[in-house]
Chains A and B, each alone.
Chain A
Amino acid sequence: MTRLTAEALIVTRGGRPIVDGVSARLTGGMFVALLGPNGAGKSTLLHCLAGLMRPDVGRVLLDDSDLKTYDLRSLARRRAFLPQSPRAEWPISVERLVALGLTPQLPAFGGLPVAMAARVTEMLAQVDLLDRRDQPATTLSGGELGRAMLARALVGDPDMLLADEPLTGLDPRHAIDGIVRLRGLADAGKLVVASVHDLTLAARFATHIAMICDGQLIAFGETATTLSSALLSRAFAVDACISGAGTPIAVVDFVAR
């Protein structure tokens, strides 16, 4: 089973700690909702966990080896990363966009092998974009592009997915679809870490909650036991009422204090 361990990570920018001593043990099967106010350091932490940014102090271990000992390609085969609001820079077809997820598996030259093309089709079917496969990716709506990018991230069958605000800009229906998909991945044994702003969705579908405040991990644990009104009050300065955390009917309501 995949194990991702953060050991006392510190990232300093402009003399200010962005990530301040974060340690956590994450394993396959977890869907960790990374919560926290704007500017708390969620993105930076995700970049460190993905090996896309080196922490100034501390290290990240995948299984038992430091991330920096992995070569870029073998790490890319095991870990998928989705940045905040990803977009396609050229109007390539949706099918080609998804196929880009297989880059670490491909040789330096040549087209897509037949077996991989079948895998791309399978992923397109999973995210309901089969009928859009030849459409330029730049003409997709926000929700469709989000699904295409998720398919891109998962087409190489990685062990873990790190996603930075994957639900941003999605309407309620697509947001639920998206987070159910993330939970499904965790149920299939993968490790999923995603920063999320919708507390109710996090309370319903995340197996674990990680709360970041001023760069520090102030709470980490199973959703049912970790997500409390005291925690939300401390992190977001709101009075919150939580019912059924960790169940599919959970509701989080809050008012400004």
Chain B
Amino acid sequence: MSRLLWPAAILLLVAVMLLSLAVGRVWLPPSAMIDGLLAPQPNLASLILIELRLPRTLLALIVGLTLGLSGAVLQGLLRNPLASPDLLGVSSGAALGAVIAIYFGLASVFPLATPILGIIGALIAGLVTFTIGRGGTLTLILAGVAVTGLASAGLSLALNFAPNAFAAFEITNWLLGSLAERSWSQLLLATPFMLAGMACLIVNMRALDALTLGETQAASLGIDLDRARLLALLGTALAVGAATSITGGISFIGLLAPHLVRPFVGHQPSRVLLPAALFGAILLLVADIATRLIPTDQEVKLGVLTSLVGAPFFFWLVLRLRRTSP
């Protein structure tokens, strides 16, 4: 079963990426893509492909990888199947940071302000959750709820004082989360941060495995727990902060992806990481394709769709936890 996971994941990822390039208001089958690229430039097909579909697809890929990976690392680190960047308040913190950058016009003066403030927001939120939520599933989730509440209050405050109705609409719309109409420059701006974040998350593999035995035994096996926590926090903040600052809020991908792959890799935390990242990307690409296919006047926002699909899964997870824990 586990031997089939890798080829299946990669095949599926390539397939949904091609589909993501093809699907939209204008249907571009592979033949049309190739014709467009070979025909004299500029032409409509190649413009759609290169300026719209390709950045959107690549953004979905890297944001999906980021969310899946950080979910898997947080669940492994905290040995908590409910841990994920959105439930721990990291995503809300990032959204608040990014909104501050947009709201005060920093983003238009200095483009890096959005990802940087997103990362700072994520870092502060994560730090607060980790610090006050130490000591168990319940306290951690509660701390995440509290931090999310605080960040939401900050966002509401920004809306409250929005200079005009249009600005308020802009912010709300952005918060819903989407990959549409993101430019190459936005993608290139955030990608280095996301890659750096993923690097911080990946180096934790041995620590996550050892933590299967609990913190005391992991420490006795030579694992530096403080370093592992710091790297996970920094990695999540960099990756999710930068991702959220471009896409707005996209929830449940980080929660869901690790659960999909865990049974196939024998539940070993380190082996969950990379497949979870791949499935994060697949889930996000599928959801993004779905937003383009659902025939509504206004495109359904990606963040709305992932929540609609992810929330029932969360219910299922809670029910399962209720059965397995005393």
Chain A interface (Cβ < 8 Å from any Cβ of B): 50, 52, 71-77, 79-83, 86-93, 96-97, 100-101, 103-104, 106, 108-109, 136, 149, 152
Contacts and interface: CB of A to CB of B under 8 A. Distances in A.
Contacts, number: 74
28 contacts: A72-B219, A72-B222, A72-B223, A75-B222, A81-B216, A81-B217, A83-B214, A83-B216, A86-B214, A89-B212, A89-B213, A90-B267, A90-B268, A90-B269, A92-B212, A92-B267, A93-B266, A96-B268, A97-B212, A97-B213, A100-B209, A100-B213, A103-B206, A103-B210, A106-B206, A108-B206, A109-B205, A152-B217
B201 interface: no
A104 B219 CA distance: 11
B220 A76 contact: yes
A123 to B, nearest CB: 15
Nearest to A107: B206
Contacts of B299: none
Nearest to A158: B220
B224 A91 contact: no
B182 interface: no
A140 to B, nearest CB: 14
Contacts of B210: 100, 103
B211 interface: yes
A87 B214 contact: yes
A108 B205 contact: yes
A161 to B, nearest CB: 11
Interface in B184-225: 203, 205-206, 209-214, 216-217, 219-224
Given A90-B269, A97-B213, A152-B217, 9 more contacts: A50-B220, A75-B222, A82-B217, A89-B214, A92-B266, A93-B266, A96-B266, A97-B212, A100-B212
Given A76-B220, A103-B206, A90 B212 contact: yes
A73 B217 contact: no
Given A90-B267, A90-B268, A109-B205, A79 B214 contact: no
B79 interface: yes
A89 to B, nearest CB: 4
A170 B25 CA distance: 67
* A contact patch SS: mixed
A104 B222 contact: yes
Contacts of B266: 92-93, 96
A104 B221 contact: yes
A152 B209 CA distance: 13
Contacts of B216: 52, 81, 83
The interface centre, meaning the residue of A76, A91, A100, A136 with most chain B CB atoms within 10 A of its CB, is A100
Contacts of B222: 71-77, 103-104
B79 A90 contact: yes
Given A86-B213, A108-B206, A91 B267 contact: yes
A109 B209 CA distance: 12
Contacts of A74: 222
A76 B217 CA distance: 10
A216 B206 CA distance: 38
Nearest to B202: A109
Contact of B268 (A52, A92, A109, A149): A92
9 closest pairs, A vs B, by CB? A76-B222, A81-B220, A73-B222, A89-B79, A104-B222, A72-B222, A103-B221, A83-B216, A90-B267
Contacts of A149: 213
Nearest to A90: B267
Given A87-B214, A91-B267, A72 B209 contact: no
Contacts of B203: 108
B210 to A, nearest CB: 5
Interface in B234-251: none
Given A90-B268, A92-B266, A83 B221 contact: no
The interface centre, meaning the residue of B212, B221, B267 with most chain A CB atoms within 10 A of its CB, is B221
A75 B220 CA distance: 8
B145 to A, nearest CB: 23
Contact of A72 (B212, B214, B224): B224
A106 B223 CA distance: 12
Nearest to A106: B206
A71 to B, nearest CB: 8
Contacts of A100: 209-210, 212-213, 221
B213 A88 contact: yes
A131 to B, nearest CB: 18
A164 to B, nearest CB: 9
Nearest to B269: A90
A86 B203 CA distance: 26
Interface in B51-101: 79
The interface centre, meaning the residue of A80, A88, A89, A93 with most chain B CB atoms within 10 A of its CB, is A89
A76 B269 contact: no
Contacts of B212: 88-90, 92, 97, 100
B224 A103 contact: no
Nearest to B263: A91
Contacts of A88: 212-213
